[in-house]
Amino acid sequence: MEVQTTKIHAALLASPGIGHLVPVLELGKRLVTQLDFQVTIFVVGAEPSVLESQLQNFPKSSIFNVVSLPPVDISGLVDPNASIVTKIIVMMRESVPALRSQISVLKLRPTVLIVDLFGTEALPLADELNMLNYVLIASNAWFLAATTYFPTIDGKQEDEHIIQQKPLIIPGCKPVRFEDTLEAFLVKNDELYVEYLRIGLEIPAADGILVNTWEDLEAKTLQSMRDTKMLGRVTRIPIYPIGPLVREVKSPALENPVLDWLDNQPTESVIYVSFGSGGTLSAKQMTELAWGLELSQQRFIWVIRPPVENDVTGAYFSVGKGSDDTPDYLPEGFLTRNSKLGLVIPDWAPQAEILRHPSVGGILSHCGWNSTTESIVNGVPMITWPLYAEQKMNATMLTEDIGVAIRSKKLPTESIVERKEIETLVRSIMVEEEGNKIRSRVKELKSSAEKALSRGGSSYNSLSRVAEDCEKSLQGLVARAHGA
């Protein structure tokens, strides 16, 4: 095989779901614009319409290509009731042969393979095809710390955390409380547990780890990962904080009725309510949320989906109405009573554009890391409403460590958050002194993120180090390819 030396060609692999696709696309864009890499992004499980919508801001180029891998049928390979994470992992595993075939026929062979969290089973392709390999963690460094450390603990430590419900002590990092811990750790030896531990062990086998965070945001955790006397004895390989990886907003903004409505609202007067690309609520919780928004008397935009009982990821892959067209899972007459106060948007809204709009003064969020970083870079304070994955960890970080959010006294996944508390939370973040203090803090972090991404900033320099390290390592691959 010929090893290219003139331009580094990076192959990126994205897992199913917008939350995984967006940071991979944004990383690909930065590899092209900042490092002059050639980039080919391989996408698993994306609907053509979804992929097309995400690529609208990406100019077509001979050095930036996106390839959809053939769909895989996992119906006979995984329990239909398995978690969404388990299904994604199986989809990624079954896509490895197609990835190998697609890479093999590329005219300019990739020299670097970058996979996201659920693509680590593709890492051996790098050795097979004479490439370097990296893992992209689309979430934060604290999540990475828990993911890589948990598989190394002994039985006593595991029992203390999972059975006795004590915090998971991670060297040099904030402990993870049991109520915040990752779902994958909770049922020992079930399929998700086994798969996730495998991932945690495979990540440090790569040539490096790219993390969607920045130095000022998680300095303590990142330092621990670099210290061989602390967490660095587990991670062992270079850590590159390159975030935040967020969607760029077109200027001028796209035409959309939601944005037109925002143009007519006072500055920082609207709270945006969204549970991400897959999050869902129960019917009772949706009713309470509707009443809470109405009682708060604050302007709102609510991205809404039909309720799903006992499944907070019910809309990940993809109803009657009252007399005024209010869906029957909302209070009767809700749309009429709030016609001047807010907007209810079915299924999807242009979140990046909404959060950038000066009329938006807060977000009620599921705390997915994409939404979190988009809120921070736009200076928007948060009400946290974690649903699944690492979102409870994110909510704790945002409220207790970073100070850019408030949260319910209850865990939304375990009990109903009632309308009066929702009213209080919304008013606190939008019009009361607590919200003003948080707004000031998040605007400080906005400046920190902008500085990190600017030329000479910490994330900019970290990504440049990726290129420098690739160049050095590729010299060894060239020598090996020529039999040296």
Residue 426 to residue 424: CA distance in whole angstroms: 6
- For 219, counting Cβ atoms within 10 Å of its Cβ (0-12 exposed, 13-18 middle, 19+ buried), the class is middle
Whether the bond into 175 is cis, omega within 30 of 0: no
Among 115, 118, 112, 117, which residue's Cα sits nearest to residue 130? 112
CB-CB contact of 359 with 269 (8 Å)? yes
- Report the first-to-last Cα separation within the chain, whole angstroms: 14
CB-CB contact of 386 with 394 (8 Å)? yes
Catalytic one of 20, 161, 357, 366: 20
Residue 306 per-residue DSSP state:
-
Catalytic one of 73, 79, 116, 180: 116
Amino acid at site 405: A
Quick one: how far is CA 107 from the chain centroid? 32
Q: Is 216 a catalytic residue?
A: no
| Residue whose entry in the numeric block shows the structure tokens 């595993």 | 93
CB-CB contact of 359 with 271 (8 Å)? no
Secondary-structure breakdown of the chain: helix, strand, coil percentages, each rounded to the nearest 5: 45, 15, 40
Residue 120 to residue 452: CA distance in whole angstroms: 28
Which residues have C-beta within 8 Å of that of residue 303, sequence separation ≥ 6? 272, 273, 274, 275, 345, 346, 347, 348, 349, 351
Which residues have C-beta within 8 Å of that of residue 401, sequence separation ≥ 6? 174
Residue 463 to residue 1: CA distance in whole angstroms: 28
| Residue whose entry in the numeric block shows the structure tokens 């659920």 | 118
Residue 420 to residue 88: CA distance in whole angstroms: 37
Which residues, listed in sequence order, are joined to residue 38 by a DSSP beta bridge? 9
| Residue whose entry in the numeric block shows the structure tokens 């239909």 | 80
Residue 386 to residue 391: CA distance in whole angstroms: 5
Helices (H), 398-432: 419-430
DSSP-derived 3-state class of residue 67: strand
Q: Is 73 a catalytic residue?
A: no
Active-site residues, by number, are 20, 116
